[in-house]
Structure formats: structure tokens, C-alpha cells
Amino acid sequence: MQTTRRDHSLLAIAILAVGTTTIACSRKTTSSEKAEAVASGAAAPSPPPAAGSAAAPSPAPVPSRGAPAPDPLETELLAVTRRWNEALARRDAGALRSVYGAQVRLYQNTVDREAAIKTKAAALAASKDYTQAITAVEFDLRTADRPKAGFDKKWTSKGKQQSVRGSLVFAKEGGQWVVVEESDTKTDERRARAEANKDSCEGLVVGVVMSVPEASQILNGPTDPAEGHNSNGLRIDGGPPESPTFAVAIHENHPDHLLTLAWFEVDPRTGKVTEGLDKTPRKADPALVEKMKAACAK
């Protein structure tokens, strides 16, 4: 395919019925040819019908079934997927207002619709040549209220082309399907490694941030169950080869969303840790920093 960020078209399947014409040769088949045909497993040719005998009727043609009707749900979800892709391929973050839900999980950060649009607009402004395209779109409809689209995503940013298997999760709001999660396999795998193995590169990046006193204070700060704030948590994003640094966010856990409290950026090569957009330097445990550098260098 190549839809542009990527246009994916439904393909109509045309089934062509091809008739086969049998041509009868008048040359007689010799006995040696018959024996050779039997030895090779081929059937001997049938003798021509006797003069005056009725020819055997031709078999009735099998009617074509035609192309199967597309699944109505997949058709709706494909339209939303196309609008999402086209908005980003055209660098039009505002067009995502009709695509995103009230709350959107952008990779590992859950934000409201306006914050998601501002995040995309900032990313597009930082990469003047950004464009994208998607191919091989497929849908997983097993979770009826949160179906998922998977696709191959290729994008260009700052002169560099990259690709990944991306995904969107949908939900119905106001009777319309909208995107409530946007991610890719690399982000999902990175998060899984960090959670499963504390001695992995990703796990140690999280450990380094947790050793920063300012981060620990935020992570272990007060909660407010009456307001749905039951706990705090961490999530990791970025990292090589897509980005030279990792971003670790501390957030409040709410039943229907995450509320980001702080971001920390970690350079796995130098061990440098900074906080926030102003990149305030923070001091982490030196032993953990060295361990992280060694793990991330592998």
C-alpha cells in the first residue's frame, strides 16, 4: 500500500470467471502412447462420440459469489484511522480535534483532548519536514467497546526516515468512534521491559529517576481518594535509537486517566538527569547511574 500517514484504501475484490475451451485433435492415439499415459498416471483420452449419438451436456457454470461485504465497524474505524493519519501527514494538529476523545493516552502520557492537540502541534513545529504514512491496517474487534487498529507507520522527521508498528485504540463518545489511545510496539515493549526487569536499561533508567530526591518526594506525595486520586506512578518513554534520552513521568493514577505531575529526562550515555522543560539539573544515585550506563550501552 502506501497510504499517506497514510492513506489506506479498501480494496474491492473482482472475481473473474474464466471459461476453459477443450480442443479435440483428430490424430489417433497410438497404443504406445496409451501405455505411456497409463504408466505416467495420466488418463487416456476419451474416444469421440459415435456418429448420431447425443453429446454429453456441459456442466452448468458455478455462479460467482462476488466480494464479501465489508464489516460496518471496520469501515467506521478505518475512516477515523484515515483522518488521524491525514491530519498528521498534513501537519494539521487542529484536525485532530474531531479524532481524539475527551481523554487520550499518547504513548505513556494520558492527557485531555486540548493538551493532546498542543503536544502534537509542538512536535510538528519542532520538525518542519514531518510527514507520515500508514500501511497494512488491521483491526482487533475482540474488545467490543475498545477495538484496536494496528498498522505499519513510516515517518520522516528532520531528514530521517523511520518506521514502527503503530496502534490506535477507539471508544465511542457521543455516538461516534474516537481515538482514546495512541502508541506503538516499541513504546509498549519498552514499558514492559521496565516493569519486568529492574536491571534492564529501561528498568535502571526508572531506578535512577526514583533515586532523585525531588522525584521521590513527588512520587511519594499525598493522594486524594475522594477525588479519585488513589495512587501515584511512573512511566517511561523515548530512548535510543529514536531519541538520545529517556523521559520518565510521575503521575497521579485516576480511574479514567493519568495526571502528569513532573517529567525527568535521562541521558543513558552520560547519566545526566534533568527535570521539566527548563531542564533543571538533578542529582541521582551515582552507583545506579553507572549501572544504568553499562546496561544501556549493551
Reply yes or no: is the peptide bond before residue 286 cis, omega within 30 of 0.
no
Using alpha carbons only, what angle is made at residue 242 by residues 293 and 160, rounded to the nearest 5 degrees? 135
DSSP code per residue over 120-155:
HHHHHHH-TT-EEEEEEEEEE-SSTTS-EEEEEEEE
Return mean pLDDT, the chain: 80
- Contact (Cβ atoms closer than 8 angstroms) between residue 136 and residue 149: no
pLDDT at residue 234 in the model: 86
C-alpha cell at 223: 493522594
Quick one: pLDDT band at residue 50, thresholds 50, 70, 90? low
pLDDT(54) > 70: no
C-alpha cell at 21: 475451451
Rounded to an integer, what distance in angstroms lies between the CA atom of residue 160 and that of residue 16?
43
For residue 179, give the nearest of 247, 110, 261, 252 by alpha carbon.
Answer: 110
Stretch 7-16: mean pLDDT: 35
Whether 197-298 and 70-184 are alike in CATH topology: the answer is yes
The topology (CATH level 3) of 197-298 is Nuclear Transport Factor 2; Chain: A, (3.10.450)
pLDDT(62) > 80: no
- Greater confidence (201 vs 230) lies with 201
Q: What is the pTM of this model?
A: 0.55
Quick one: pLDDT band at residue 42, thresholds 50, 70, 90? very low
pLDDT(289) > 80: yes
Least confident stretch, 23-32, 136-145, 192-201, 266-275: 23-32
Buried b (16+ CB within 10 A) or exposed e, 18-33: eeeeeeeeeeeeeeee
pLDDT at residue 152 in the model: 95
- Contact (Cβ atoms closer than 8 angstroms) between residue 107 and residue 243: no
- Greater confidence (132 vs 50) lies with 132
pLDDT at residue 26 in the model: 36
Least confident stretch, 21-30, 81-90, 245-254, 268-277: 21-30
Place of cell 507507520: 153
Distances (CA, A) of 283 to 71, 232, 235, 245, 273: 55, 21, 19, 16, 7
Q: What is the pLDDT of residues 99-110, one digit of tens each?
A: 999 999 888 778
pLDDT(275) > 60: yes
First to last CA, the chain: 36
Q: List all residues 6 or more positions away from 291 whose beta carbon is below 8 Å from its beta carbon.
A: 199, 204
Rounded to an integer, what distance in angstroms lies between the CA atom of residue 130 and that of residue 154?
11
Quick one: pLDDT band at residue 43, thresholds 50, 70, 90? very low
Domain 70-184 grouped into CATH 3.10.450.50: yes
Helical H runs in the chain? 31-39, 72-89, 113-126, 185-196, 201-210, 213-219, 286-296
Stretch 149-167: mean pLDDT: 92
Rounded to an integer, what distance in angstroms lies between the CA atom of residue 128 and that of residue 295?
34
List the domain boundaries for the chain.
Answer: 70-184, 197-298
C-alpha cell at 138: 488491521
